[in-house]
Amino acid sequence: MRAVLDVGQYVSATIRADGHPAQVLAAWRDGQFELVRSQPILDDLRRVLAYPRIRKYHRFSDEEIALFVDALALAAQLAPAHLELRGVPDDPTDDKVLACAVEGQAEYIVSSDQHLLKMDGYEQIAIVPPRRFLERLRHTPSR
C-alpha cells in the first residue's frame, strides 16, 4: 500500500507525538505502508515548520527541522514532481499533493485538509483522514 501525506500531517506529528498523524508516521516506520513524497511537499513542509506560530508548538531548531525533512527525503519514495494538474478548485496549493499521489501511484492521500477531504477521492486515489487510514491499515493483511 502506498500513501501520500499532506504537509499538515507531518506538522501535526511534530506537535503531538500521540496523535493520529504521528501514529501514521510510526506505521510507515514499522513498514506497514510505503510513504510517497515529492520535493514540492518537502519544500512546503520545511517552510511551514519554520513559521514562528508553528515553531512555538514543536520547538524544533533550524537544524532539527532540516534533519526531520532530510530524513523524510531519504527514506520515503520519491515522486518526480513533473506532473502539473488542477484538481483542487478551492485551494490550488493542494494540487501538489494530488500530483504526488498520481505520479507515485499511491492508493491513499492522508489529510485533515477540508479542501482535499471534501473531494473524497481523486481518480482511483482515496482521500482519508489519518484516523480512517489507521483503521484501514489495521484491516489490511500483512505482506
User: Which tens digit of pLDDT belongs to each residue from 23-34?
Assistant: 999 999 999 999
The CATH architecture of the domain made up of 2-138 is: 3-Layer(aba) Sandwich (3.40)
**Confidence (pLDDT) at 101:** 97
Split at pLDDT 50, 70, 90, the class of 90 is confident
- Whether the pTM exceeds 0.85: the reply is yes
Q: Is the pLDDT of residue 143 over 60?
A: no
Query: How do the domains of the chain map onto residue ranges?
Result: 2-138
What percentage of residues in the chain have a pLDDT greater than 70? 99
**Confidence (pLDDT) at 132:** 97
Number of residues in the chain? 143
